[in-house]
Amino acid sequence: MSDYTSGQINFAGLGNGTDFNQLIDGMIKIERNRVVRLESWKSEWEAKVEAFNELNTRMLSLKSTMEGMNTVNEFLTKSVTSTYSDVVSATADSSAEVASHTVRINQLAQNAILTNQNGYLATDAEVTASGAGATFEYSYQGVSHSLNVPGGTTLQGLQNLINNDPDNPGVKASLISDGSEVYLQFRGMDLGEDATLEIGAGTTLSGFTAADFDVTQSNQNAELRVNGWPTSDWISVPSNTVTGIVDGLTLNLKGSSLGTDISLTVNTDKEAVKENVRTFVDQINEVRKYILEITNFDTVEEEGSLLTGNYGVEMISQNLKNIASEKGLGFFYYDDSGAAPQGDVFSSLSQVGILTDADENSPTAGLLQVDEERLDEALAEDTDAVAKLFSADHEGGVYNTNDLAYYSHIDSITQAGSYKVKYTVDGSGEITEAWINGFKASIDNVNHRITSPSNKVAVGDTLVEQNPSAGLVLDVLNRAPGTYPPSGTSDEDYPLGVLKQGKTGQFINELKELTNENTGPLHILEENYEDIMDMIDDKIAYEEKRITKMERTLKEKFARLDALLGQYEGQSAQLTSQISQMSQG
């Protein structure tokens, strides 16, 4: 028996047991397979975008790590030990030589401190009578300052007037107590003999004139000798933190050495340098491991990973591998075959023990490894050269020539690398023509210098520099008449202007490009994939609409069929009854 209701279509089927709802559901389920396939297809693109985001995050983390060690001063750690660290200690940057120094301290630098002689029973005791104002005048570093002290001002109020004065030149008032009375103490915040502090003659505040203050500490410079110099006098400086006396050393003076020389010993902290190398390798491997994970091809199952063969990821992988395997920018292999050695002690990571594991059966296949023994040998041979390989920051020089010398470059404009140089000198010693990196250089015959020019071209609305050597300035040392190098000089013997950049800087620059939010390859791919997913969403929406319409149409058709069959069932019952009656008659 059917159960049919018009309007909202609902029926259970015929009396013979036919269930049209189940039949329609089955047909719709078959149609929805298209939607399921589209949703599965979209999820694959979503997974790829998620992988892009994860790779981008790891590259940004690598970039951040490299930025923490992209100068020699950050990469090359030097330590200083003192025989009396409670009297003098020191810190060293990368320019400090490994050596020992002596320091003798005659006196520390001090600030001026004045203490008022008049004590008060409480901080809220008035220093001026109610309604009677007064003036407090003082001179600091030779400049006079005056404060109006209103009537009824308390001791603490006077302190606040001094400290909160918007024109305060660098003095501070504080309140001290001997247990029974409170006193005002007045001090300059600067050290040295020029940081004078005096109460002015224009002070009318009773009890706070110059005669009411004791000089409890006089301002003075620090006095010291370094390595026995000067022999009969003292180095005088207005600070207890002293720089510039010994290259790369900052001295922290803490007390007088009472006629005794204190020894400071500078050493390279090789273990800290090795830890920097390990961090460098570990962070690169974090990116490499993830790339291997998302691009791996299973030769047994003959099945790729999520991004196997993806050209964007493959490009990123190769670019990062190239930086790790190639010579550093502006670096050259060491060559001692000529009259004078030239080149770099270390110019590639492999020379200091960093290599890629090429064993396909190794659990670290494709990752960088550190040969600790070779690294130790490199550090023992030339620690500074190891540091430069990793973190030289546009260090200028020349190669293949004694005719030129590096003078300067423009930060953020001149790019690291090596650039061919050619110039001509006339009979009077004037430079008449010069070329750097194939671009005609500007000439300064007063200072005998040549400068690589800017060469910008418009790309859309932006001017883009086409000359990576732009801003490189070289001194011309050989000004004998002639052309340098002479005609016929081979490429390998050409004089070069050089800017060295260590591996950390190379990685930073490449990672900036790769993670760029507008032009980076992952960003471009993600935009393309988003377009694809939008297209899939449109297809899903179309299918959902089509299936909804189909389901409604099917229900209407089967509802009419159900009603019709119901009529036929009733007619069949009547005929059966009539036949039965005729048979009985």
Helix (H, G, I), strand (E, B) or coil at 464: strand
Lowest pLDDT segment from 398-412, 490-504, 565-579: 565-579
Q: What's the average model confidence in pLDDT over 507-523?
A: 93
pLDDT tens profile 419-469: 999 999 999 999 999 999 999 999 999 999 999 999 999 988 889 999 999
Q: What is the pLDDT of residue 572?
A: 80
Pick the closest to residue 391 from 497, 474, 508 (CA basis). 508
Q: What is the pLDDT of residue 20?
A: 73
Q: Is the pLDDT of residue 194 over 50?
A: yes
Cα–Cα distance between 432 and 430 in angstroms, integer?
Answer: 6
Cα–Cα distance between 328 and 364 in angstroms, integer?
Answer: 25
- Residue 320 has a CB neighbour count (10 Å cut-off) of 21
Percent of the chain with pLDDT over 70: 96
Which of the pair, 578 or 317, is modelled with greater confidence? 317
pLDDT tens profile 166-186: 999 999 999 999 999 999 999
Start-to-end C-alpha separation, the chain:
30
Helix (H, G, I), strand (E, B) or coil at 313: helix
Q: What is the pLDDT of residue 210?
A: 97
The CA-CA-CA angle for residues 393, 409, 477, to 5°, reads 115
Q: Is the pLDDT of residue 165 over 90?
A: yes
pLDDT tens profile 359-392: 988 999 999 999 999 999 999 999 999 999 999 9
315 close to 338: Cβ distance less than 8 angstroms: no
What confidence category does residue 131 fall into, taking pLDDT thresholds of 50, 70 and 90? confident
Percent of the chain with pLDDT over 90: 77
Task: Output the average pLDDT for the chain.
Answer: 92
Q: What is the pLDDT of residue 585?
A: 58
- Residue 460 has a CB neighbour count (10 Å cut-off) of 6
pLDDT tens profile 196-211: 999 999 999 999 999 9
Q: What's the average model confidence in pLDDT over 476-504?
A: 96
Q: CA dist 319 to 305, 312, 325, 511, Å?
A: 21, 11, 10, 10
Q: Is the pLDDT of residue 16 over 70?
A: no
Segments of 479-577 assigned E as strands: 482-484, 496-501
CATH 2.60.40, applies to 113-216: yes
Pick the closest to residue 168 from 186, 183, 151 (CA basis). 186
Q: What's the average model confidence in pLDDT over 320-335?
A: 95
Which of the pair, 232 or 554, is modelled with greater confidence? 232
CA dihedral 116, 121, 123, 125 (to 10 degrees): -100
Cα–Cα distance between 322 and 318 in angstroms, integer?
Answer: 6
Q: What is the pLDDT of residue 327?
A: 94
Cα–Cα distance between 557 and 441 in angstroms, integer?
Answer: 86
Lowest pLDDT segment from 194-198, 217-221, 568-572: 568-572
Q: What is the pLDDT of residue 339?
A: 76
Q: Which residues pair with residue 37 across a beta bridge?
A: none
What confidence category does residue 299 fall into, taking pLDDT thresholds of 50, 70 and 90? confident
Lowest pLDDT segment from 150-154, 333-337, 490-494, 551-555: 551-555
Q: What is the pLDDT of residue 5?
A: 45
378 close to 347: Cβ distance less than 8 angstroms: no
Helix then strand then coil, in percent of the chain rounded to 5, is 35, 30, 35
Q: Is the pLDDT of residue 260 over 60?
A: yes
Q: What's the average model confidence in pLDDT over 220-238?
A: 96
Q: What is the pLDDT of residue 13?
A: 47
Q: Is the pLDDT of residue 252 over 90?
A: yes
For residue 216 the two structure tokens come to 């409890």
- Residue 258 has a CB neighbour count (10 Å cut-off) of 9
Q: What is the pLDDT of residue 423?
A: 98
Rounded to the nearest angstrom, the gap between the alpha carbon of residue 194 and the centroid of all alpha carbons in its chain is 40
Q: Is the pLDDT of residue 7 over 80?
A: no
Phi/psi of residue 471, nearest 5 degrees: 95, -5
Phi-psi region at 235: left, alpha or beta (left = phi > 0; alpha = psi -120 to 50)? beta
| Single-letter amino acid, residue 357 | D
Q: Which residues pair with residue 41 across a beta bridge?
A: none
Q: Is the pLDDT of residue 52 over 80?
A: yes
Residues 6+ apart with CB under 8 A from 268: 76, 77, 78, 79, 98, 383
What confidence category does residue 1 fall into, taking pLDDT thresholds of 50, 70 and 90? very low
pLDDT tens profile 524-542: 999 999 999 999 999 999 9
- Residue 293 has a CB neighbour count (10 Å cut-off) of 14
157 close to 164: Cβ distance less than 8 angstroms: no
Q: What is the pLDDT of residue 18?
A: 61
For residue 35 the two structure tokens come to 């939607």
Q: What's the average model confidence in pLDDT over 30-55?
A: 91
CA-atom Rg of the chain in angstroms: 42
Cα–Cα distance between 151 and 202 in angstroms, integer?
Answer: 17
Measured on CA atoms in the order 476, 478, 480, 482, is the torsion positive or negative? negative
What confidence category does residue 11 fall into, taking pLDDT thresholds of 50, 70 and 90? very low
Helix (H, G, I), strand (E, B) or coil at 476: strand
Burial grade of 446 (CB within 10 A; 0-12, 13-18, 19 or more): exposed
Which of the pair, 35 or 6, is modelled with greater confidence? 35
Q: Is the pLDDT of residue 6 over 50?
A: no
Strands in 262-268's sheet, in edge-to-edge order, are 235-237, 222-226, 100-107, 262-268, 78-82, 88-92, 249-253, 241-243
454 close to 473: Cβ distance less than 8 angstroms: no
